[in-house]
Amino acid sequence: MEKSIGFIGCGNMGKAMLKGLLTSTNINKENIIISTKSEESRVNIINEFKVNCVLDNVEVAKVAEILFLAVKPNLYKQILKELESHIKSDAVIISIAAGITLEDMESWLDKEYKIIRTMPNTPALVGEGMSAICPNSNIEQKDLEIICALFENFGKYEILEEKYFDAFIALCGSSPAYVFMFIEAMADAAVKLGIPRNKAYKMAEQSILGSAKLALETGKHPAELKDMVCSPGGTTIEAVIELENSGFRSAIIKSMEKCSDKSKNM
């Protein structure tokens, strides 16, 4: 891909996406330009990723054909107002912020632009992200195909109606945090049972990775896969019953509802 790609800001999510792009054989790093708010962060980006990084948002907006807004949601309106007169007329603006709708962004711009709302997650850092993509009415099919090809560098994606984005954030955007808590809890239990901590983390992480891969590749229902592990009168069913008694599923469902509600009210 020879299109110029710009990032306004480059925090944790921006870095995850940037790394995904740089591992692709289809992306020329010479076509990537980033702006950061401080000299320290600019130097850090250059040293870590060896890409062009500047302190001026306008400099990025003037050249980017694909423009990622990788700043905090509360800065979106200010950034769009600052950059509007400099963004290329045919550029695709990509949002990665929770709580900022397509309608919000369109209302902050005086002209019509091609805008895509997305929600990636941090496993994009290792090419195993899950992203949602929603285009506005100005996006043409060829634009969407380019952006989808770009997001394949981060992992998987789904074209999703915007009304489902709050639920998607709870399901995928925030869920890596739940999984990391699960890993930590499993490792803590293993340490309590005598396994050295460094081994416990590795074992927990591989078990979760393998389980997810088994579900994805077999297409079997999660309940069926669970039943395959639960022998009658065995050890696993004891653990499953204890999880049920402790409200394991209920806690996950309630937590995701809270997450979705927060996204709606941001």
Which sequence spans correspond to the domains of the chain?
A: 5-165, 173-264
CATH level 2 (architecture), domain 5-165: 3-Layer(aba) Sandwich (3.40)
Helix axes 39-49, 12-22, angle to 10 degrees: 30
Binding residues: 8-13, 36, 57, 70-73
CB-CB contact of 91 with 65 (8 Å): yes
pLDDT (tens digit, 0 to 9) for every residue of the chain, 266 residues total? 689 999 999 988 899 899 888 887 678 889 999 999 999 999 999 999 999 999 999 999 999 999 999 999 999 999 999 999 999 999 999 999 988 999 999 999 999 999 999 999 999 888 899 999 999 999 999 999 999 999 999 999 999 999 999 999 999 999 999 999 999 999 999 999 999 999 999 999 999 999 999 999 999 999 999 999 999 999 999 999 999 999 999 999 999 999 999 988 87
Rounded distance between C-alpha atoms, residue 119 and residue 141, angstroms: 20
Write the burial class of residue 22 (CB in 10 Å: 0-12 exposed, 13-18 middle, 19+ buried). middle
Q: What is residue 266's predicted lDDT score, i.e. its pLDDT? A: 77
What pLDDT sits at residue 5? 96
Residue ranges for the binding site for NADP(+)?
8-13, 36, 70-73
Helix (H, G, I), strand (E, B) or coil at 9: coil
Q: Which residues are annotated as a binding site for NADPH?
A: 57
Distance (Å, rounded) from C-alpha 19 to C-alpha 122?
A: 11
Looking at residue 12, its pLDDT comes to 87
Say if 5-165 and 173-264 have the same CATH topology. Answer: no
Strand partners, 54: 35
The rounded distance, in Å, linking the Cα atoms of 158 and 161 is 10
Decide yes or no: CATH 3.40.50.150 for domain 173-264: no
pLDDT score of 79: 95
Its pTM stands at 0.90
Q: Would strands 52-54 and 129-135 be described as parallel, antiparallel, or unpaired?
A: unpaired
* Contact yes or no for 79/73 (Cβ under 8 A): no
- The answer to whether the CB of 206 falls within 8 A of the CB of 196 is no
